[in-house]
A and B are shown apart, each in its own frame.
Chain A
Amino acid sequence: MTPWVLLLVSLIAIIIWIIWKYVIIPSITVATDKDSYDRSEGVQISGDLKDQADAGIPDKTVTIAVEDPGGTVYPTITVQTGADGSYAATWEIPDDAAGGTYTVTASALGISASKTFRQMIQKIVAV
């Protein structure tokens, strides 16, 4: 192997190492505590913001949006990630919320993740 080829391979290895060490490639997750809720319940939303080494990314702002079946997006919630990169928030289902499938989207550092849940309409049945 010639010195030039060795030099080229070494340079490529150094560049890959620098990218891995100093460039953060984030990933985000989002989850809800249940898959379906009754009206006026609280939806517990949680997740993690991690880097490519699976280490939590602390002190970053996570924006959470809840979209109803008709495409209406409720006012967004912003939370900070903790020391371990985790975040948590509660969204109260409004009394006049429509029934159907809702979508929770969490975004931070230019990436996002979504999760759906169902909101059941309570019917009062006279006996």
Chain B
Amino acid sequence: MVMLGLLMPVGVWFLSKAKSVGPEKWTAKFMAFIIAISGVTGGAVGVYDYMAFDPEASSVSIYSVGIVLEGDVLFNTYWDATATSAVTSVEWGELEPGQTGNVTFYIKNEGSSNLYANMTWTEGSWDPPDAFQYFDLTWDFEDKFVKPGFGQRVRLQLHVHSDIAGVTGFSFDIVITGDNEPFPE
């Protein structure tokens, strides 16, 4: 958006040119007027954006998190209860240090036996590496199982430690492992 600020002088220049165009050239004058208005508006937005920019802002951008499904039980994750929109990645948006982000989706058991699931992340998938030490990932699916053909609403929570430093954006993979027996504690 800051780049839009460059449009301001262009807009002003077109505005001055628009005045010098004769009345018989109304189409050219109209076009120049539109370009000028666009330039001035874009410039104003750009200047506002630049002034609002805070280099000391400490929010953390979480671009994308892959979902990896493993295990012997056939299951999938969906955004909706009707299981029409599969979850392939999670956008957490921006989280401040100390904040917790929530994401809700559904696990559907598409196999023929009960589904028990375990959720974790792979440390090797973190970008940047070692950033995992600043985060806690939990879900509310502990001690539950899903009967064949059924689904279960699940809430994931990602907590950002308040002492996070040197990380402004990251991504990692969530691994959900399914089994037909409970996982050991």
Contact = CB atoms under 8 A, between A and B. Distances in A.
Nearest to B141: A71
B152 A73 contact: yes
Contacts of B151: 65, 67, 72-73
Contact of A64 (B82, B146, B149): B82
A80 interface: no
B5 to A, nearest CB: 31
A107 B152 CA distance: 18
A75 B150 contact: yes
Interface residues of B, number: 15
B67 interface: no
A32 B61 CA distance: 42
B153 A112 contact: no
A63 B83 contact: yes
A76 interface: yes
A105 B152 contact: no
Nearest to A63: B82
A37 B93 CA distance: 40
B84 A110 contact: yes
Interface of B: 27, 80-84, 106, 108, 146, 149-154
Given A63-B84, A73-B150, 11 more contacts: A5-B27, A67-B81, A67-B153, A72-B146, A72-B152, A73-B81, A73-B151, A74-B150, A75-B150, A106-B82, A112-B80
